Chains A and B, each alone.
Chain A
């Protein structure tokens, strides 16, 4: 049984412009002792997802689906039961430590209150424990009597780690822990978090838009776009052979790999694109992509992809194939060779052949 198992989670907000779905059909699993990176660009809904797990979203939100943690559906718990989960079984590091810490309380107090609340510690004992946590994350315990504005960005991030791990939760959710830090500090913080988490045998859900950090630290990765999961797999596999066009584009945007920006703009949540949400920006888009919304399907090697390019290849399609089979021969050749030799004679020789035969059947039948 997975530590965390999210099943078909929908998160929608009631706004003046109508309901907005920030997360749709999210299904995800985090195993014991595993580090899973949730990757995506700013605004794609990953922070909302992180907060949704602990039900920290505002009152006008509707959560549908199931979130199983150690076998219990968190969405079915009462608020009182949920409070016992927060901090103790699942810890979270929110974005922007300078905003997530109360400016009028000392850093030590803000860590100590976790002990006083959950473990009924006395003031002195809790203060001592807070000092120990600070030391664990590399801050002198004497600093516990200082205020957040007296700390640097990197130090504040460490404080957030201390707060998240204070009660040694089974799962830590870290929301953009390296945002706004310089490269060296980024690595330090990333290593600190992953190091501590591994030591405890806990799991980590790392929410980030920073691919390098994800690659450095995570076992597995899930890519999110416009509120949906579009690809999952082990970190190594995803980074070496990305399947979804968006993942590819993301990787190409890295300094080391081309620094090509992902074209186009993030889609609106109020009126998302029809069909596949990525199609307006996709360099491999086909005509059917604007009409049909692809499902997240498993392809070989335990990987999942949400893309019509891989439809035919999907083994476990759960009987949804009939929706995707238009019965038409699309005859659309994008003119771009994806670099994969389909092994089928398409009868159309575009004259461009990059010569890479992955031996996989792409499932694109251009006849």
Chain B
């Protein structure tokens, strides 16, 4: 198992390094003269050429690309992501300030999604080809195809504007969390349900299920003791993909519901042309994603005895 984990760690390091390169390019390739942008933010409208040049020198913006990259990387490793081009706030600080909101949304959505998808997937597989199964499959096909931004708007229209029982935007109470979490969670649930179902169907065909029946065990015991763990392992591996969807989805959902998270920060920064902030957000999100994937991989290694205990010779 440790072999496996060590390999994953090495891989992740290389990937994260590449991520920093890409993130840096976001800022470097941005249109416009960064010195000008910073100067404008600092001194306002009437800029003189000297002011711009002064900024350029101070920020080291005349150095060749790779020097700038290394400088930036060094700062990043010391957890200094730089300052916002617009507000001059510390970038990392701003991101961390918004992390709890995004985390709250992500976790709530994930929880909701699993609560819906796994029982539905299992039941659907057990009662294959019945009305329940067909309904679940069709609903999940719908769920996979529905754009979450449209779904969010529909939910707002129904619950906030027509029924008026939930707020359409804002942050703070549980009420505020419901619609955003529902939006993000149900689309995820559709994908997870399909996966759980097919995984379960696969498992139920296996010989060890017949063997369990041959011992005289009843269906319920077979399901819980033998089938579930095997069926849910593949779902776990796809959790990685889900996390990506989750993080990406927060961008849209936070924008619709004015949820003060990292996703909204990213979108706002793009429109504000604050590419330093964009760079910081993108780096943060990508690293977060990579580390979560690593965590999932480790979890999987621990749970699957075939990896945990390498085959003896």
Contact = CB atoms under 8 A, between A and B. Distances in A.
A87 interface: yes
A270 interface: no
Interface stretch (B9-17, B38-46, B210-218, B240-248): B210-218
A56 B229 contact: no
Interface residues of B, number: 24
B36 to A, nearest CB: 61
A149 B229 CA distance: 16
Interface stretch (B54-62, B258-266, B302-310): B302-310
Given A94-B210, A99-B206, A102-B208, A147 B309 contact: yes
B8 interface: no
Contact of A92 (B208, B214, B226, B312): B214
Interface in B210-250: 210-218, 221, 225-226, 229-230, 233
Contact of A104 (B214, B221, B230): B230
B311 interface: yes
B207 interface: yes
Contacts, number: 74
B213 A150 contact: no
B207 A163 contact: no
Interface in B180-226: 206-208, 210-218, 221, 225-226
A94 B304 CA distance: 24
Interface string B145-170: 00000000000000000000000000
Nearest to B217: A117
Contact of A99 (B207, B215, B229, B233): B207
Nearest to B233: A104
A100 B215 CA distance: 12
Interface residues of A, number: 30
A103 B306 contact: yes
Given A101-B208, A104-B229, A150 B215 contact: no
Which of A87, A99, A102, A147: most chain B Cβ within 10 A? A102
Given A104-B230, A150-B309, A118 B216 contact: yes
Contacts of A103: 208, 230, 305-306
Contacts of A85: 216
Nearest to B306: A149
Contacts of A104: 229-230, 233, 304-305
B308 to A, nearest CB: 9
A83 B230 CA distance: 23
A86 B208 CA distance: 15
A88 interface: yes
Given A99-B207, A100-B207, A114 B305 contact: no
Given A94-B207, A96-B207, A84 B216 contact: yes
Interface string A250-272: 00000000000000000000000
Given A96-B207, A104-B230, A86 B306 contact: no
Contact of A117 (B221, B304, B306): B221
Contacts of A94: 207, 210-211, 214
Interface in B28-42: none
A163 B213 CA distance: 12
Which of A85, A106, A118, A147: most chain B Cβ within 10 A? A147
Given A56-B210, A100-B208, A100-B211, 10 more contacts: A51-B210, A86-B215, A86-B216, A87-B215, A94-B211, A96-B207, A102-B212, A104-B233, A149-B306, A150-B312
7 contacts: A56-B214, A86-B213, A100-B208, A100-B210, A104-B230, A113-B217, A147-B305
